[in-house]
């Protein structure tokens, strides 16, 4: 009994497959005139900074003779994000079919063979190679239709476009003559010729099948579809005007890049932050595409300069210099992937724009908002850790010279610290900083939540002198023993000498990092360590550029950490101060 039911199910499944195959073949072979194709307008878009766009199409669309809507537009949505619907109370959506269909398009005839094909039945005077001109009527051009090719081909063969012959049938007094079109040198039309001809081609067509509930289909129906697809993105940028007294006017504008489809008078939502699209590399099968369309570099994630707009939320605690790759020679800064990967750390916030019109391939710049925020001047001195002598001995001359350039001339940086009291977060973006209409610098605004603060770098503070000296005061052989090895301890002292040569009192934030353990610091220095047990060694992004020049042994992480001392001090004009600290590290004896 079970076997009979199973066989019945198999037969039914096979019948369905055969029916669908025949339906698709018959549907694909139907000729659709170009004027029967509809283009559903875009009504609303939600644009993310990484180039993903939530697109909403909706409109009153014309129906075909079967009461369905045929669209000459096939999106390439992320799988699981395509949804269509009927907004018409008279009908409901029964399904969506996409496939290749033969479309008839009128195109201008550009040569003699095309003019002949466009003017079947016309009276002409023909000049053949080696013959005198004679009058005749273009009778026919033999061809094989798609239906004939389908009927005479194996069932497994794909559908084909009509095959045009290379001969023309000319009717004259003596009968009907078959002439190779290539022999015709000149043709004179005795009547006004038809300038265009019907051209057939395959196109990807989407059909919204509507259920009219046994009623006669209306001529139009209100339908829509929505999906997420990569193709439109926005790039924020700021203009920061400071008055030198603690007030800043911050203007935000957006550069919108459209490589998706024409949009006209749509509502556009520009989103700070990027939600997670789990299947963003997988295209929905409805699109008939096997891979995501290749867009310009504005949408790529693997740009060499993708560091430029890293949107990860940065702690407002002062951090060490980031190790970034600086473009060389004339490399172009790509404005594409940088905002993409890091937006996940931002809270979603939406700016809404009305009546945006932008054709595919166009770009536009549009103002978003303006805010008056308070700021204060701060000076930041970050002294990163360098490799211990035992490691430096293994570096080559070029590496040693590179280290010397970085660590032997420390400079304080003048920054402004902006307090975000606006009603929206500040997003990661380039920031042009001006005072009294004159440009001071360009920096990078980092994501700043409402109520938080961010730093914008202005310039190097050359009028604050900095001297740093670290010395080994004691070396204790065989200080520790672990895993049958003995380790020496090096005790170090460090001094940072600072002098303010400015004419005003400054707030100076100093951070000194060492590759070891800090024991003491003067002037109320705050000591912290990146611990050996909480996993920071695996997760922190503050390693210096030289870290991978050396293969660090596993025991290093058992004994040593990264120690940090932070001082917040005020320096009056011409005032000097010495910041002192003591630290140690272990090394294999």
For residues 53-58, average pLDDT: 94
Same domain, 335 and 392: yes
Range of the domain at 149: 105-202
End-to-end CA distance of the chain: 82
Residue 337, pLDDT above cutoff 50:
no
Residue 331, pLDDT above cutoff 70:
no
- Residue ending a domain, choose from 411, 431, 460: 460
Q: Are 283 and 230 in contact (CB under 8 A)?
A: no
Same domain, 419 and 523: no
Residue 374, pLDDT above cutoff 60:
yes
Q: Are 51 and 279 in contact (CB under 8 A)?
A: no
**SS3 for 2?**
helix
Same domain, 197 and 266: no
Distance (Å, whole) CA 48 – CA 81: 15
Q: What is the pLDDT of residues 243-275, one digit of tens each?
A: 999 999 999 999 999 999 999 999 999 998 877
Structure tokens at 463: 């009028």
Q: Per the domain annotation, does 91 fall within a domain?
A: no
Q: Per the domain annotation, does 420 fall within a domain?
A: yes
Segment among 139-143, 309-313, 526-530 with least mean pLDDT: 309-313
Residue 38, pLDDT above cutoff 90:
no
Structure tokens at 57: 């199409």
Q: SS3 string of 529-568?
A: EECCCCCHHHHCCCCCCCHHHCCCCCCHHHHCCEEEEEEE
Same domain, 420 and 496: no
* Most confidently predicted of 318-327, 346-355, 362-371: 362-371
- Residue ending a domain, choose from 405, 434, 460: 460
- Residue ending a domain, choose from 420, 435, 460: 460
pLDDT of residue 281: 85
In the structure, what pLDDT confidence band is assigned to residue 28 with cuts at 50, 70 and 90? very low
pLDDT of residue 300: 57
pLDDT of residue 553: 87
For residues 489-518, average pLDDT: 94
pLDDT of residue 534: 53
Mean residue pLDDT across the chain: 83
Q: Per the domain annotation, does 383 fall within a domain?
A: yes
pLDDT of residue 532: 58
Same domain, 348 and 479: no
Burial 58-95, CB ≥16 within 10 A → b, else e: bbebebeeebbbbbbebbbbbbebbebebebeebebee
In the structure, what pLDDT confidence band is assigned to residue 394 with cuts at 50, 70 and 90? confident
Same domain, 399 and 255: yes
CATH code at 122? 2.30.30
Q: What is the pLDDT of residues 114-163, one digit of tens each?
A: 999 999 999 999 999 989 999 999 999 999 988 888 888 888 888 888 88
For residues 229-235, average pLDDT: 92
Same domain, 194 and 259: no
Same domain, 366 and 336: yes
Is the pLDDT higher at 150 or at 373? 373
pLDDT of residue 294: 53
Residue 325, pLDDT above cutoff 70:
no
In the structure, what pLDDT confidence band is assigned to residue 103 with cuts at 50, 70 and 90? confident
Distance (Å, whole) CA 507 – CA 461: 12
Q: Are 414 and 500 in contact (CB under 8 A)?
A: no
**SS3 for 79?**
coil
**Number of separate domains in the chain:** 3
Residue 508, pLDDT above cutoff 90:
yes
Same domain, 445 and 471: no
Residue 91, pLDDT above cutoff 60:
yes
Pairing of strands 83-86, 134-140: unpaired
Count of positions (residues) in the chain: 589
Distance (Å, whole) CA 74 – CA 72: 7
Residue 321, pLDDT above cutoff 90:
no
Q: Per the domain annotation, does 515 fall within a domain?
A: yes
Q: Per the domain annotation, does 53 fall within a domain?
A: no
Is the pLDDT higher at 127 or at 294? 127
pLDDT of residue 162: 87
Cβ atoms within 10 Å of 360's Cβ, excluding its own: 12
Q: Per the domain annotation, does 395 fall within a domain?
A: yes
**SS3 for 30?**
coil
Q: Per the domain annotation, does 65 fall within a domain?
A: no
Segment among 194-208, 313-327, 396-410 with least mean pLDDT: 313-327
pLDDT of residue 386: 87
Distance (Å, whole) CA 337 – CA 300: 5
Query: Which residues partner with 477 through β-bridges?
Result: none
Q: Per the domain annotation, does 345 fall within a domain?
A: yes
Same domain, 162 and 180: yes
Same domain, 358 and 486: no
Segment among 194-198, 310-314, 467-471 with least mean pLDDT: 310-314
Same domain, 444 and 328: yes
Is the pLDDT higher at 303 or at 385? 385
């Amino acid at each position: 009994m079970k076997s009979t039911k199973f066989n019945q199910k198999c037969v039914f499944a096979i019948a369905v497959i055969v029916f669908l195959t025949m339906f698709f073949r018959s549907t694909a072979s139907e000729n659709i005139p170009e004027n029967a194709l509809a283009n559903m307008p875009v009504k609303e878009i939600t644009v993310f900074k990484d180039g993903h766009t939530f697109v909403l199409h909706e409109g009153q669309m014309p129906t075909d003779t079967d009461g369905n809507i045929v669209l000459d537009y096939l999106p390439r949505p992320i799988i699981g994000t395509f949804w269509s619907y009927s907004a018409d109370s008279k009908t409901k959506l029964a399904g969506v079919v996409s496939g290749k269909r033969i479309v008839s398009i009128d195109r201008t005839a550009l040569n003699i063979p095309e003019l002949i094909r466009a003017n079947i039945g016309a009276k002409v005077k023909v000049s053949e190679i080696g013959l005198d001109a004679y009058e005749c009527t273009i009778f026919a051009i033999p061809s094989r239709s798609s239906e004939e090719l389908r009927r005479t081909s194996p069932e497994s063969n794909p559908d084909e476009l009509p095959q045009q012959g290379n001969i023309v049938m000319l009717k004259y007094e003596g009968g009907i003559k078959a002439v190779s079109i290539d022999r015709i040198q000149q043709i004179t039309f005795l009547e006004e010729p038809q300038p265009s001809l019907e051209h057939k081609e395959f196109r990807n067509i989407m059909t919204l099948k509507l259920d009219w509930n046994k009623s006669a289909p209306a001529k139009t129906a209100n339908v829509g579809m929505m999906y997420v697809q990569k193709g439109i993105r926005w790039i924020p940028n700021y203009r920061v005007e400071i008055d030198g007294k603690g007030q800043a006017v911050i203007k935000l504008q957006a550069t919108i890049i459209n490589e998706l489809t024409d949009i006209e008078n749509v509502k556009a939502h520009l989103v700070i932050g990027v939600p997670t699209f789990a299947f963003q590399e997988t295209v929905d099968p409805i699109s008939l595409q096997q891979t995501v369309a290749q867009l310009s570099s504005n949408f790529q994630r693997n740009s060499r300069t993708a560091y430029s707009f890293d949107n990860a939320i940065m702690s407002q605690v002062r951090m060490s210099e980031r190790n970034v790759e600086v473009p060389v020679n004339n490399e172009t800064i790509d404005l594409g992937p940088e905002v993409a990967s890091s937006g996940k750390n931002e809270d979603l916030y939406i700016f809404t724009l009305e009546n945006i019109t932008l054709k595919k391939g166009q770009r536009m710049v549009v103002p978003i908002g303006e805010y008056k925020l308070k700021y204060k001047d701060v000076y930041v001195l970050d002294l990163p850790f360098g490799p211990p002598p035992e490691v430096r001995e293994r570096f080559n001359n070029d590496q040693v010279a590179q280290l010397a350039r970085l660590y032997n001339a420390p400079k304080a940086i003048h920054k402004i610290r902006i307090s975000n009291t606006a009603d929206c977060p500040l997003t990661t973006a380039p920031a042009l900083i001006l005072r009294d209409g004159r440009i001071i610098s360009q920096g990078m605004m980092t994501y700043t939540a409402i109520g938080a603060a961010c730093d914008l770098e202005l310039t190097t503070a050359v009028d604050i002198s900095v001297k740093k000296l670290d010395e080994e005061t004691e070396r204790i052989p065989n200080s520790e023993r672990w895993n049958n090895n003995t380790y020496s301890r090096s005790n170090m002292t460090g001094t940072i000498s600072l002098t303010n040569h400015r004419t005003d009192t400054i707030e100076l934030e100093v951070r000194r990092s060492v590759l070891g353990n800090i024991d003491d610091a003067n002037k109320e220095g705050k000591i912290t360590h990146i611990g050996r047990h909480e996993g920071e060694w695996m997760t922190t992004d503050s390693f210096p550029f030289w870290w991978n020049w050396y293969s660090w042994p596993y025991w290093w992480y058992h004994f040593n950490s990264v120690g940090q001392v932070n001082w917040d001090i005020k320096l009056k004009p011409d005032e000097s101060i010495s910041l002192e600290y003591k630290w140690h590290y272990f090394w294999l004896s």
